[in-house]
Amino acid sequence: MRPFRYHRPGTVAEAAQLIADLGEDGAILAGGTSLMTLARLGLAEPQHVVGLAGVPELCGIEGNSGDGITLGAMATLRQVETIPPVRRLAPGLAEAAHQVATVRIRNQATVGGTLVHADPSQDLPPMLMVYDAVARLTGPTRTREVPVAELFVDFFETVVDPDEILTSVHLPPASLGVIAGYLKFLPRTQDDYATISVAAGLTVVDGCIDTARIAVAGGGSTPQRCREAESALVGGGTDVAGLAAAADLVPEALDPVSDARGSGDYKREMARISTRRLLQRLVSESAT
Amino acid sequence: MSPALNPGAAPLSRRAVGDAVDRVRGTFTFAVDRRIEGTLHAVAVRSVAPHGRITSIDAADALAVPGVVAVIDGSHVAADDGISPWYGENRADQPVLAIGKVRYVGEPVALVIADSRATAEAAAAQVWVDIEELPHVVDPVLAGAPDAPQLHDEWPNNDSGTWTLVHGDAERAMATAAHVHTATYTSPAQNHVPMEPHSATGAWLPDGSLEVWTGTQSPYVVRQRLATMFRLDPDRVRVRGDSLGGAFGSKIDLRLEGLVALASRAVGAPVRMELRRDEVFQSASKHAATVTMTTGVDEDGLLVARIIDIVWNSGAYALQTPRSSRTGMIRSPGPYRIPHVLARSVARYTNTVPTGPFRGAMTGQVCWAHESAADEIAAELGVDPVEWRRRNLLRDGDAFATGDVMHEMHYVDLLTAVDDALTADAPPTSSTRTRTRRRGRGVAAVLKTTRTPTRSEAQVQVDAEGQVAVRTSAVEMGQGAAASLAEMAARRLDMPAEDVSVSWPDTGWTPFDQTTSSSRTTFATGLAVERAASDLRACIAQQVAQPWGITPDQVVHRDGCVSSPGDPAQRMTYADVVRSSGAGELVGTGRYETPPGAGRLDPETSQGNVSVHFHQGVVGVEVEVDTETGRVHVLRAHGATYAGRLIDAERARKQIEGGMLFGLGQAVMEETLYEAGQMINPNLSDYQIPSLLDVPLTSSTVLSDADPDAEPHGIGESTVPPMAPAVANAVHDAVGVRIRDLPVTAEKVLRALREKQADDRKN
């Protein structure tokens, strides 16, 4: 690994100034679980690293049913997994966080890092899409909000500008009523990246599906919403045939790469199976 | 610089029993932790082409990087009269740095030596190597074709070892068989994945001798290779070892030692190397193999003949393959009574990572074949697979395929123990067989020969402080060898094992040991240690017997003291004995060597006495298969082995159960993948090994011989090879599909299930 100079700003403004000054020579370090791995592999060779560990305003998780949930960019995945407001109000998100690698990694990896890194197999992004989450970005001249569903552009590429910092992610209160769940398909080890994973959220009113969200990770160059499958569900019943028919629409929305975790065709098929199983689970949970 | 490399004259040693505490706390010192002041650091520039001629190497930019001391390549090596750059156990086909030609992606082409590893790493990226690419071949079957790219001019047809085994007349007997089964089984290249990467430090001393600190399993082999490479008397090479953080065969023979010696020679200072994980993947591999097995049985299902054809992928260089491919062939008939066997084995060079021994060496590939075949044959005969094995497994007095008349055979008992363990619980009820989850059970057995001939030497000594030290060149690599050797010495000396220290290997001080491999240490080194301890015990008794007016055999040894049986006043500690002897220390020596002629086989038929004893293992697993995804969960695994005289039951169990976990990865997930001649998954994200979360419920049976004079048997590998076929057999039991190509991935199982469903619909 090439040595670099380490900077430790104390505020978002300081951090933003630093990355503006450093330009392409600088990289932002959140938990380091991805950046340091890339650096050790020689795939990232920053001369300057701007560590965000000393920026208090990026830390913490707050939430209630009236205001929704705000996750600081530096909140760890372990916090997302364990903190009561998330477990109570957005249990699907806690479930997805629980599925990330190991406790050791979750203690280190952050919400902001997992989004900006934009690895299409990460666990949190599809679930944040299900909760209609919105990312807040701060740049030198403006602050803007981008829905997580519109954040990703390609493999390891987002709409976040080089001089912007993702400061927080907000789950709006209206999204918290869904029954959400996460199914990570792991045919190899239990701490692997997903071969394919599905996040889904439903609201069921009088036996009828009122709203539906389905998002898949590992199915292409970015995590993605499966809007056709969602539309097929809305207004329909909760019978197995209807859920299966919606799940059958998921593979068409995907374009997964063939790799050590499976062929593209296999991943598509596993997305279909996983979606159907997850929807069946959510429907049975909605009945209790 | 000799003082820097030479912190103590005597070999370092430590208390071996109870070292788990340091391992858990992270304070245990491994080879990779060894830091010697004043060393420079070398990083290899590696080939990015699978096969080609080196047309130029331009190191000017790298040499301009501040901190870079030197860059050397194969042309420097070839021009140096003091160096014989080619090495290998059976044929010197591998250059320490590529000379003229590269033969695999990852082959070291040049070394950058700098004042830090980071500088060397950065500069290595600025060594410009031009390679004129040649056609490459990665498949060993294709490598045998007449028009295949040739890797070595001196070794035509990419042949890196051709052998046959002829026992009886298999072709004629096959024609008389009531039932014949034939199938082909393949297993891929896999990586050992020791958690600790390879490391070594080398230095030339002012007197012209060479000293190397290294994480090796075979200090004396390394010494011999270095002596040959640098044209030195072996006594002028000192190889010093450390404890290893896992090895599994990847740290046998020359690895980094030649490179650090070369680098140190070039710059006149000690040089250290440590591999990155991708370099570990590029340094050693398991042999991929294709095994075609044809088996004939009579009306009762008894084996009458077996014909086996094996093609091994030896990678770009032979290393041990010319010898070890024969060893694998000899084990390929399996632990069965077969009157007629014909086996043909060929190993071929390909443009892939060079291969070497891999825990359960050259046995996993053939066990995969004979144990999958066992279940297939039993199914075709309509016989329970456990029962079929029981009828055919070797028993005392049976002849093995080499003609060896078998002794200490315990297969039937081991199989029964495994079968009992698997059936102890009530069979899975319908409630556990949900619509998409099916359970099944499978067993598999293995026979492994031990390294024959072999030799180990040991010293056990006590000093004037009463400190007892075992000196051997055995390597502690997590298997508990040091603790077992301490216990074996302590028992002979009637003293607590906690008070016995064990040396690190150091060819300057510790006596010869062949290698720490082949599950031979507790057996061969252990017997040498016991003999050395008995020799020391006799020496101590000799010292006191005459003054006490008794004979040496009347002397009582207890708790590190000697006494006279009739006279309580006559009692001395071992320290007192040493002090009164005036000798400073008393030393016992011991040696184990296989009997003359053992291991000698007919060159054409491979008949003879192949092994002094046989490692026997049986594994049983229960799996759950998801019929919609193909995902195989191994729910539990029971391993059984025969240990001969048992030294420590707890360590034996850990070897058996750890072996099954090691085998689990090979069974269901491990495979190095190549694309365009390049390994594409040389990292622990894409190449996965089982994590703690994947560990099934494990249990074990250790059969042993209570006779205090019985030989200990190695047990470190006996449950590794059977794991994969046991899993495949269990998958077949669960869902009726047969996978013959390792690993048994979810995708393969699902594809087979879908094909079976389509076939079932047709019929």
At B428, the pLDDT band (50, 70, 90 cuts) reads low
Burial B512-533 (b: 16+ CB within 10 A, else e): bbbbbbbbbbbbbbbbbbbbbb
CA distance B178 to B383: 15
A229 to chain B, closest Cα gap in Å? 20
**Residue A102 belongs to domain with CATH number:** 3.30.465.10
Tens of pLDDT, residues B567-588? 888 999 999 999 999 999 999 9
**Residue A279 belongs to domain with CATH number:** 3.30.390.50
Scan for tokens 């619909």, then name that residue: B761
A-chain residues near B122 (CB < 8 A): 2
Does the structure show a pLDDT above 90 at A29? Answer: yes
- The partner residue sitting opposite B629, judged by closest CB among A187, A188, A189, is A187
CA distance A197 to A223: 10
Can you read off the two tokens belonging to residue B247? 């090895």
- Whether A247 and chain B come into contact, CB under 8 Å, resolves to no
CA distance B95 to B258: 10
DSSP for residue B336? B
Q: Is the dihedral of CA B147, B150, B155, B160 positive or negative?
A: negative
DSSP for residue B405? B
DSSP string covering B187-211:
E-------SSPPEEEEEE-TTS-EE
Tens of pLDDT, residues B612-621? 999 999 999 9
Are residues B118 and A270, on separate chains, in Cβ contact within 8 Å?
no
| Cα nearest neighbour of A261 on chain B | B686
Q: Tell me, what's the pLDDT at A287?
A: 86
Residues A61 and A47 in one domain: no
Residues A30 and A101 in one domain: no
Mean pLDDT of B474-482: 95
Residues A118 and A183 in one domain: no
Q: Tell which residue, B144, B63, B96, B128, has the closest CA to residue B348.
A: B144
At B15, the pLDDT band (50, 70, 90 cuts) reads confident
CATH 3.30.365.10, chain B: domain bounds: 289-451+600-762, 455-593
Phi, psi at B715, each rounded to 5°:
-135, 10
Q: Tell me, what's the pLDDT at B430?
A: 47
Q: Tell me, what's the pLDDT at B461?
A: 97
Are residues A189 and B691, on separate chains, in Cβ contact within 8 Å?
yes
At B12, the pLDDT band (50, 70, 90 cuts) reads low
HSE of B311 in the Cβ direction (CA atoms, 13 Å)? 19
Q: Which fold has domain B455-593?
A: Aldehyde Oxidoreductase; domain 4 (3.30.365)
Tens of pLDDT, residues A157-198? 999 999 999 999 999 999 999 999 999 999 999 999 999 999
DSSP for residue A258? P
Boundary residue ending a domain (A156, A174, A192): A174
What is the β-pairing status of strands B101-102 and B52-58? Answer: antiparallel
Q: Tell which residue, B340, B353, B396, has the closest CA to residue B180.
A: B340
Residues A97 and A154 in one domain: yes
- Whether A177 and chain B come into contact, CB under 8 Å, resolves to no
Which positions ≥6 away from A123 have C-beta within 8 Å? A96, A97, A99, A100, A114, A182, A184, A194, A197, A217
Q: Tell which residue, B354, B312, B349, has the closest CA to residue B106.
A: B354
B365 to chain A, closest Cα gap in Å? 21
Domain with A191 in it: 178-286
Instruction: Provide the edge-to-edge strand list for the sheet that holds B455-463.
Output: B13-15, B500-503, B468-471, B455-463, B585-593
Residues A90 and A103 in one domain: yes
**Residue A38 belongs to domain with CATH number:** 3.30.43.10
Distances B511 to B90, B225, B339, B503, B506 between C-alpha atoms, Å: 24, 17, 43, 11, 8
Mean pLDDT of B408-420: 97
Q: Tell which residue, B394, B364, B385, has the closest CA to residue B443.
A: B385
Q: Exposed/middle/buried for B416, CB within 10 Å: 0-12, 13-18, 19+?
A: middle
At B14, the pLDDT band (50, 70, 90 cuts) reads confident
**Across A201-210, B9-18, B470-479, B703-712, least confident range:** B9-18
Q: Is B349 helix (H, G, I), strand (E, B) or coil?
A: strand
Radius of gyration of chain B (CA): 27
Does the structure show a pLDDT above 80 at B40? Answer: yes
At B257, the pLDDT band (50, 70, 90 cuts) reads very high
Residues A46 and A135 in one domain: no
Pairs across A and B, CB distance < 8 A = 58
Instruction: Provide the edge-to-edge strand list for the sheet that holds B697-703.
Output: B437-449, B614-626, B632-642, B697-703
Does the structure show a pLDDT above 60 at B380? Answer: yes
Q: Which fold has domain B289-451+600-762?
A: Aldehyde Oxidoreductase; domain 4 (3.30.365)
Q: Is B259 helix (H, G, I), strand (E, B) or coil?
A: helix
Q: Tell me, what's the pLDDT at B7?
A: 45
Phi, psi at A174, each rounded to 5°:
-60, -25
Phi, psi at B269, each rounded to 5°:
-150, 160
The rounded percent of chain B whose pLDDT value lies above 70 is 97
In sequence order, which ranges of B7-166 are alpha helices (DSSP H)? 20-25, 60-63, 74-78, 117-124
User: How many CB atoms are located within 10 Å of the residue B320 CB?
Assistant: 22
What is the β-pairing status of strands A224-225 and B632-642? Answer: unpaired
Give one word for B449, left, alpha or beta, with left for phi > 0 and alpha for psi -120 to 50: beta
| Cα nearest neighbour of B122 on chain A | A2
Q: What is the mean pLDDT of chain B?
A: 95
Q: Is B533 helix (H, G, I), strand (E, B) or coil?
A: helix
Q: Tell me, what's the pLDDT at B2?
A: 35
Boundary residue ending a domain (A174, A207, A232): A174
Mean pLDDT of B467-488: 95
Does the structure show a pLDDT above 70 at B432? Answer: no
Q: Is B250 helix (H, G, I), strand (E, B) or coil?
A: coil
Are residues B118 and A2, on separate chains, in Cβ contact within 8 Å?
yes
Mean pLDDT of A124-144: 96
CA distance B125 to B68: 12
Boundary residue ending a domain (A113, A140, A174): A174
At B11, the pLDDT band (50, 70, 90 cuts) reads low
This complex has an ipTM of 0.95
Q: Per the omega criterion (within 30 degrees of 0), is the bond before B11 cis?
A: no
Does the structure show a pLDDT above 90 at B210? Answer: yes
Can you read off the two tokens belonging to residue A108? 């280190």
CA distance B218 to B228: 16
Q: Tell me, what's the pLDDT at B427?
A: 53
A-chain residues near B631 (CB < 8 A): 185, 187
Q: Which helix (H) or strand (E) holds B2?
A: helix B2-5
Tens of pLDDT, residues B222-242? 999 999 999 999 999 999 999
- 3-state helix, strand, coil split of chain B in percent (to 5) is 30, 30, 40
Which positions ≥6 away from B572 have C-beta within 8 Å? B544, B561, B562, B563, B580
Q: Tell me, what's the pLDDT at B3?
A: 35
- The partner residue sitting opposite B747, judged by closest CB among A40, A193, A262, is A262
Mean pLDDT of B289-296: 98
Does the structure show a pLDDT above 60 at B114? Answer: yes
- Whether A156 and chain B come into contact, CB under 8 Å, resolves to no
Torsion of CA B430, B435, B437, B438, to 10 degrees: 50
Tens of pLDDT, residues A88-121? 999 999 999 999 999 999 999 999 999 999 999 9
Q: Is A15 helix (H, G, I), strand (E, B) or coil?
A: helix
- Whether A194 and chain B come into contact, CB under 8 Å, resolves to no
Q: Which amino acid is at A159?
A: V
Q: Tell me, what's the pLDDT at B5?
A: 46
Residues A203 and A261 in one domain: yes
Residues A200 and A262 in one domain: yes
Mutate to test the interface with A, among B191, B664, B685 (most CBs of A within 10 A): B685
Q: Are B491 and B623 in contact (CB under 8 A)?
A: no
Does the structure show a pLDDT above 90 at B625? Answer: yes
Are residues B118 and A262, on separate chains, in Cβ contact within 8 Å?
no
Q: Are B104 and B352 in contact (CB under 8 A)?
A: yes
Does the structure show a pLDDT above 70 at B1? Answer: no
Q: Are B348 and B313 in contact (CB under 8 A)?
A: yes
Number of domains in chain A: 3
Q: Tell me, what's the pLDDT at B8?
A: 47
Does the structure show a pLDDT above 80 at B103? Answer: yes
Distances A100 to A92, A151, A183, A189 between C-alpha atoms, Å: 13, 20, 12, 12
Can you read off the two tokens belonging to residue B58? 């331009």
CA distance A214 to A196: 13
CA distance B339 to B341: 7
Can you read off the two tokens belonging to residue B10? 């005597």
Q: Tell me, what's the pLDDT at B433?
A: 52
Through-space distance between the first and last CA atoms of chain A, rounded to whole angstroms? 53
CATH superfamily of B13-134+198-274: Aldehyde oxidase/xanthine dehydrogenase, a/b hammerhead (3.90.1170.50)
Does the structure show a pLDDT above 50 at B466? Answer: yes
What is the β-pairing status of strands B179-187 and B303-315? Answer: unpaired
Which positions ≥6 away from B20 have C-beta within 8 Å? none
DSSP string covering B599-632:
T-B-TTT--B---SSEEEEEEEEEEEEETTT--E
Can you read off the two tokens belonging to residue B755? 């094909």
Tens of pLDDT, residues A246-288? 999 999 999 999 999 999 999 999 999 999 999 999 999 998 7
Q: Tell me, what's the pLDDT at A43?
A: 87
CA distance B469 to B495: 12
- Whether B523 and chain A come into contact, CB under 8 Å, resolves to no
Q: Tell me, what's the pLDDT at B374?
A: 98
Q: Which helix (H) or strand (E) holds A127?
A: helix A124-130
Tens of pLDDT, residues B723-756? 999 999 999 999 999 999 999 999 999 999 999 9
| Cα nearest neighbour of A273 on chain B | B628
CATH 3.90.1170.50, chain B: domain bounds: 13-134+198-274
A-chain residues near B669 (CB < 8 A): 188-189
Q: Tell me, what's the pLDDT at B476?
A: 95
A-chain residues near B687 (CB < 8 A): 260
- Axis-axis angle for helices B257-267, B219-229 (nearest 10): 40
Which positions ≥6 away from B634 have C-beta within 8 Å? B621, B622, B623, B664, B667, B668, B696, B727, B730
Residues A114 and A208 in one domain: no
Which positions ≥6 away from B19 have C-beta within 8 Å? B28, B482, B483
Radius of gyration of chain A (CA): 19
Q: Tell me, what's the pLDDT at B539?
A: 97
